[in-house]
């Protein structure tokens, strides 16, 4: 992107992050629906967002869809009758998935339900209790230390009912039914980097993809963490075998270096394409190996699925002090980092789109290139040496078994030099494209789930 374009994109993304922070969202409930309403409003009119509702109690793999949680209000009132904490001021003040509670109790008893960060006395922590019935408030350690003795009034007006889990899905068809999966979680409230930045960048990617010709079919998911990806995998056995590449987006707006976490396979095309896109920036970045700890990549990369899905972000979760605190705010993210993350992701997609397996139609000896005008046809795109070496390497390695990314890595050439050479050679009949081959492990995973059934209500 040009500097001007990057500035425009960065500020658009920053404004989106700000708009996405307020809803009181969790893994279920009206906060998720409100967030998806914001997503729909930010998307171009031609990009359809489908909202799925999966009923409470539905079995999904080894899990069950939990009760739906909603919040009407939550306050802690001090001995003097003044409001000490109000979730309306900051959603982080309420322990996520708190059960309803109305009670009066002394400070000594209340303390068992208060959460703070002694090492960060001015920050409010983010805490949840999804699968255990509990209630509580989160506050700064300075607030906690200043609470006077006396009797406090707890007013937590929440509900846990038979409802549903809600997630959003965008499908942008390509010329192939092979799929590129992009996911981001939407269950964290009031935090900019984790996870409003992922939602915002996914919206921007959807808009950019909708405006271009697509080889792959793109599926973008806005899902609650862990239970959302498990639910999607359980409900979509027929799609799993079509996934060729995938990215989990999270933490895209902080000032840390771009970081990519490889898929479980470690050498999937998405792993190599992202590494090349990062290298092309010429700036510091990190590439880390897969581990079964993190975000939804661990579900997509679980051994039964073993999908080619990596995770892209900046500073890694748990490695920066602002993580899961009120300090993950609009001052923690920048338009520049958001635009940079989007640019790297777009470049990764461009490389995957352009990667093809070709076969040389004249493999016996070197075909005469000059009389076919090949040097002139791509002469304006790069220097002479890159032109010649790109043409020669593609002709030599395009044997029907290697993709362009393989050739670029072997030849140590820029990917575009190889891709442009292949286009030129194909244009004069010296290359033909080989059909892609489905991933065996993904197909086996899909087959094993073909008999699975689960209820899902779709809202267009």
- Do 407 and 427 fall within a single domain? yes
- The answer as to whether 335 is a domain residue is yes
Local confidence band at 388 (pLDDT 50, 70, 90 cut-offs): confident
Local confidence band at 95 (pLDDT 50, 70, 90 cut-offs): very high
pLDDT score of 442 more than 60: no
- Do 254 and 372 fall within a single domain? no
Local confidence band at 443 (pLDDT 50, 70, 90 cut-offs): very low
Angstrom distance (rounded) from CA 65 to CA 67: 7
The residue ranges of DSSP E strands in 27-77, in sequence order, are: 50-55, 59-60, 63-64, 68-77
Per the annotation, does 399 bind a ligand? no
**Three-state SS for 28?**
coil
For residue 348, the domain's CATH number is 3.40.630.10
Angstrom distance (rounded) from CA 56 to CA 164: 5
Mean pLDDT of 127-144: 97
- The answer as to whether 457 is a domain residue is no
Yes or no: say if 195 and 236 are a contact pair by the CB < 8 Å rule: no
Per the annotation, does 52 bind a ligand? no
pLDDT at position 198 is 98
Helix axis angle, 30-42 relative to 197-210, nearest 10°? Answer: 40
- Print the domain residue range for 242: 3-66+165-354
Nearest to 9 by CA among 199, 283, 208, 171: 208
pLDDT at position 374 is 81
DSSP 207-252: HHHHTS--SSEEEEEEE-TTHHHHHHHHH-HHHHTTEEEEEEE---
- Do 25 and 118 fall within a single domain? no
Per the annotation, does 324 bind a ligand? yes
pLDDT score of 221 more than 80: yes
Yes or no: say if 116 and 325 are a contact pair by the CB < 8 Å rule: no
- Do 78 and 152 fall within a single domain? yes
Report the predicted TM-score, pTM, of the whole model to 2 decimal places: 0.94
Domain total in the chain: 3
- The answer as to whether 36 is a domain residue is yes
- Do 190 and 314 fall within a single domain? yes
CB atoms within 10 A of CB 95: 24
pLDDT score of 303 more than 50: yes
Angstrom distance (rounded) from CA 393 to CA 118: 60
- Do 240 and 320 fall within a single domain? yes
């Amino acid at each position: 992107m040009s500097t001007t374009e990057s500035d425009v994109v960065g500020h658009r993304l920053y404004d989106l992050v700000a708009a996405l922070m307020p809803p009181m969202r969790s893994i279920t409930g009206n906060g998720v629906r409100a967030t998806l309403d914001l997503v729909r409003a930010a998307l171009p009119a031609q990009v359809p967002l489908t909202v799925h509702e999966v009923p409470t109690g539905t079995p999904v793999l080894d899990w069950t869809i939990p009760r739906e949680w909603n919040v009407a209000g939550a306050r802690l009132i001090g001995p003097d009758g003044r409001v000490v904490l109000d979730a309306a001021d900051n959603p982080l003040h309420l322990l996520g998935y708190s059960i309803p509670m109305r009670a009066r109790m002394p400070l000594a008893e209340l303390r068992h339900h208060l959460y703070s960060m002694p090492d960060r006395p001015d920050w409010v922590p983010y805490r949840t209790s999804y699968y255990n019935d509990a209630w509580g408030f989160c506050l700064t350690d300075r607030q906690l230390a200043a609470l006077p003795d006396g009797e406090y009034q707890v007013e937590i007006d929440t509900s846990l009912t038979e409802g549903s889990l809600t997630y959003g899905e965008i499908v942008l068809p390509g010329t192939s039914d092979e799929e590129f999966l992009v996911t981001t979680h939407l269950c964290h409230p009031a935090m900019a980097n984790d996870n409003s930045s992922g939602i915002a960048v996914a919206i921007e990617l959807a808009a950019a993809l909708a405006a271009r010709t697509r080889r792959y079919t793109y599926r973008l998911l806005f899902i609650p963490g862990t239970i959302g990806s498990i639910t999607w995998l359980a409900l979509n056995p027929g799609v799993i075998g079509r996934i060729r590449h995938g990215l989990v987006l999270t933490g895209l707006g902080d000032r840390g270096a771009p970081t990519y976490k490889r898929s479980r396979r470690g050498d999937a095309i998405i792993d190599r394409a992202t590494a090349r896109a990062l290298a092309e920036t010429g700036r510091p970045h990190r590439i880390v190996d897969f581990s079964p700890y993190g975000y939804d990549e661990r579900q997509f990369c679980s051994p039964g699925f073993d999908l080619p899905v990596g995770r892209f972000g900046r500073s890694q979760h748990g490695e920066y002090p602002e993580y899961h605190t009120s300090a993950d705010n609009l001052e923690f993210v920048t338009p520049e980092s958001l635009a940079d993350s989007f640019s790297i992701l777009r470049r990764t997609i461009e490389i995957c789109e352009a990667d093809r397996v070709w076969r040389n139609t004249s493999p016996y000896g070197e075909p005469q290139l000059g009389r076919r005008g090949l040097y002139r046809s791509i002469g304006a795109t790069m220097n002479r040496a890159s032109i010649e070496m790109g043409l020669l390497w593609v002709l030599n390695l395009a044997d029907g078994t290697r993709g362009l990314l393989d050739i670029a890595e072997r030849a140590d050439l820029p990917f575009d030099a190889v891709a442009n050479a292949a286009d030129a050679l194909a244009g004069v009949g010296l290359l033909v494209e080989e059909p892609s081959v489905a991933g065996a492990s993904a197909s086996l995973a899909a087959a094993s789930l073909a008999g699975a059934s689960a209820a899902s209500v779709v809202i267009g």
